[in-house]
Chain A
Amino acid sequence: MSNVTLSIEKLSKQYRLGEIGTGTLSHDLNRLWAKLRGKEDPYSLVGQVNDRSIQSKSEYVWALKDIDFKVQKGEVLGIIGKNGAGKSTLLKLISRVTAPTQGSIKAKGRIASLLEVGTGMHPEMTARENIYLNGAILGMKRNEITEKFDEIVEFAGCAMYIDTPVKRYSSGMRVRLGFAVAAFLEPEILIVDEVLAVGDAEFQKKAIGKMKEVSRGGGRTVLFVSHNMGSIRTLCTRAIVLDQGMQVFDGTPDESINYYLTSNKVDMTQHLADRTDRGGNGKLVFTEVKMLNNLGGLTQEIISGDKAQFVISYKTNGPILSNRFLLGVTFWDKNENRVLGYSSDEMGMEFNEFNSTGEFILDIPSLAIRGGLYDIKLVATEGGTQAEHMLDNISNAFTLTILPGDFWSVGQPNRSNNMVLLDGMIHHV
């Protein structure tokens, strides 16, 4: 017997667009009529690709189309995709909330999802009653819950309020309670969907710890959906990329993230030759900027702490005094703060002779600045920053997105209150 615990075969899900109402009955009758004659469902042929941006021609849409993958025991599979790519639909099908239109899902063992924690909790009932109710909804047996009751209460940190109705709880506490119950389920296949976004920091830590414990220690399978590439990279062993309901990539987390970040924009290169909002005398003109990520892919998005390479192309209109040449590359955040700068003179750099065209390459081994949008300003001078020495000067030469990462590789997204992340270590002596 193989180690495959979950097998998704040619899975498709069709949705109807627009309002359900008029036409429902007639479509139902059409379907029935086709079925009676032994024909295929007439509406399964007409669905179209799930692309939100274009006006639809058909009334039906494929939210998922021909998804096909297998997950081994102990694997942590990350599912990456833009909003509306079909990630949640896929998880809904696997957790049996709704049925597929075509294809099949085969699984070994219990599937539990943390799609939404605290499902079915009744506000009028006490935490104790709700733990039993919620546990039962998730498929636990009564004695199973009784066995783990103390642990659940401890994990949720609500021992004091155990006989208080849940309606008196804060929303954060309710989430804790819900997650605590779900965490003590022992499913063979666990589905986690962005739940980590809720709850305070201390609780997030507990939750991630639990997830890692489940996947590593227990040899169980986890399906993990997140928009945080850092978490995907540290927690997952494999990742797939969904786009418009189709599975477009399957590989290691790094490869999948690279695919996802480099494939979804048409032109990653910033062309500067035609820009007029620039200073300088034009003896040297920046023509384009592009960014390459750790795998050498062209991109405009990079995970905080990753290696980045900027390739800055230029052309010259006359001789350049290379011994007096100076290049400045500065990073500005959206509040116009200068976050980071590289100046060739400060770095003691000497330039070769200039040809009519050429490239500067800036290598940053770890671009560990906090998540957000950054603009790059390029400056080239010949001998000083005064106007008469300025060759070219262009703001917003390139806009890059830094995605929150997981700098310390602990499975926890970095907080947003730090400007920069520097390598370091705390020792307790």
Chain B
Amino acid sequence: MKENWDLVIKPHKGLLDVDLKELWDYRDLLFMFVKRDIVTVYKQTVLGPLWFIVQPVLTMLMFMVVFGTIAKIEVGTVPPPLFYLAGIIIWTYFSDCFIQTSDTFTTNANIFGKVYFPRLIMPLSKVVSGLVKFFIQLVLFLIVYLYYGFSLGSVPFQFSLIWLLPILVILMAGLGLGFGLIFSAMTTKYRDLKFLLQFGVQLLMYATPVIYPASNLPDGTLKQLMFYNPLSHIVESFKRIFLGEGMLTVEGLIYASVVTFAVLILGILIFNRTERSFVDTV
């Protein structure tokens, strides 16, 4: 007799067996997690959601002093605050996605150990709450941007490229999520990676043209190496849209998209394998 089971639990499942319908069924949970992330950050604080803005502003000021005034790194023709702020907010989105999702299993061991829901909801919610934060910071950036626009008389905004913006954001989210998923799965067994991650992200920032324009690099191996880093293309394109300066090539973006896709697939694959029994090893 053939039975219609709604649920069959077996020891192993397919490599890329992601139940998209189930994920969709749990969209309310995703929303609640995002709300929790956003709301609880500023509970019992005086400045509240303003804290989302304080951080990039202070970072920008610090960069201006250290890299602008002391190290005297050329940033091109754009006002330095705009240059740094643009780099900071797009980079912060990536590093947030990466770091926040990379400890999915270890920080949620408690809740994962008690109740089932598609585990992918958790890292996805981090990406979405990061996005909310990113938009708040983007608004801040636009305010600063408009201020400089009025005082300079014109802004270097590339209207013809605005359609690229959502693509860049998606690529950043995808890369952050993909790397985060890989790390989250590996750290459940090998805690060593947690230590690597902390300064790894920091080093990665210096390997990406965040605080300096890519055009500063002399042609040669170094520049070649930098363009193997998919993040370089995304950050540079982002700056190009707003600041009118930055490397933007079709090949670069295609390369970044391919890498993002590959990392994301690999991440989901590893995550999927881990989620089923990580409770036993964490």
Interface residue ranges of B234-282 to A (CB < 8 Å): 276-277, 279-281
Residue A273, interface by CB 8 Å? no
A104-B8 Cα distance, complex, nearest whole Å? 7
Is A97 within 8 A of B279, CB to CB? yes
Render B1-44 as a binary contact track against A, CB cut-off 8 A, 1 for contact.
10111111111000000000000001011011101100110011
Residue A133, interface by CB 8 Å? yes
Is A96 within 8 A of B116, CB to CB? yes
Q: Which residues of B contact A96 (CB under 8 A)?
A: 9, 116
A124-B40 Cα distance, complex, nearest whole Å? 6
B9 CB, nearest partner CB in chain A, Å = 4
The chain B residue sitting closest to A133, CB to CB, is B32
Q: Which residues of B contact A103 (CB under 8 A)?
A: 11
The chain B residue sitting closest to A103, CB to CB, is B11
Is A99 within 8 A of B114, CB to CB? no
Residue A335, interface by CB 8 Å? no
Chain-B contact segment, one of A75-83, A107-115, A252-260, A353-361: A107-115
Q: Which residues of B contact A102 (CB under 8 A)?
A: 11
Is A109 within 8 A of B115, CB to CB? no
Q: Which residues of A contact B36 (CB under 8 A)?
A: 122, 125, 129, 133
Interface residue ranges of A116-137 to B (CB < 8 Å): 116, 119-120, 122, 124-125, 129, 132-133, 136-137
Q: Which residues of A contact B149 (CB under 8 A)?
A: none
A113-B111 Cα distance, complex, nearest whole Å? 13
Q: Which residues of A contact B29 (CB under 8 A)?
A: 136-137, 139
A71 CB, nearest partner CB in chain B, Å = 13
Q: Which residues of A contact B110 (CB under 8 A)?
A: 119
Q: Which residues of B contact A104 (CB under 8 A)?
A: 8-11
Is B277 within 8 A of A99, CB to CB? yes
Residue B112, interface by CB 8 Å? yes
Interface residue ranges of A257-299 to B (CB < 8 Å): none
Residue B190, interface by CB 8 Å? yes
B182 CB, nearest partner CB in chain A, Å = 16
Is A15 within 8 A of B7, CB to CB? no
A296-B115 Cα distance, complex, nearest whole Å? 42
A115-B35 Cα distance, complex, nearest whole Å? 25
The chain A residue sitting closest to B191, CB to CB, is A21
Residue A311, interface by CB 8 Å? no
Is B32 within 8 A of A116, CB to CB? no
Residue B223, interface by CB 8 Å? no
Is B5 within 8 A of A106, CB to CB? yes
Q: Which residues of A contact B11 (CB under 8 A)?
A: 99-104
Q: Which residues of B contact A165 (CB under 8 A)?
A: 43
Render A87-104 as a binary contact track against B, CB cut-off 8 A, 1 for contact.
000001111111111111
Is B116 within 8 A of A97, CB to CB? yes
A125-B114 Cα distance, complex, nearest whole Å? 20
Instruction: Given A105-B9, A133-B32, A139-B117, output 16 extra A-B contacts at Cβ < 8 Å.
Output: A24-B189, A24-B281, A98-B280, A99-B276, A106-B3, A111-B116, A119-B114, A119-B115, A124-B40, A125-B39, A125-B43, A129-B35, A132-B32, A137-B32, A142-B28, A142-B31
A: which residues have CB within 8 A of B?
A: 1-2, 4, 7, 15-16, 20, 24-25, 28, 92-111, 113, 115-116, 119-120, 122, 124-125, 129, 132-133, 136-142, 165
Sort A-B residue pairs by CB-CB distance and give the 3 closest, nearest first. A99-B276, A96-B116, A136-B29
Between-chain CB contacts (< 8 Å), 21 pairs: A1-B3, A24-B189, A24-B190, A94-B9, A96-B116, A98-B279, A100-B10, A105-B9, A106-B5, A107-B5, A107-B9, A108-B3, A108-B4, A108-B6, A113-B115, A120-B115, A125-B36, A125-B43, A136-B29, A136-B31, A137-B111
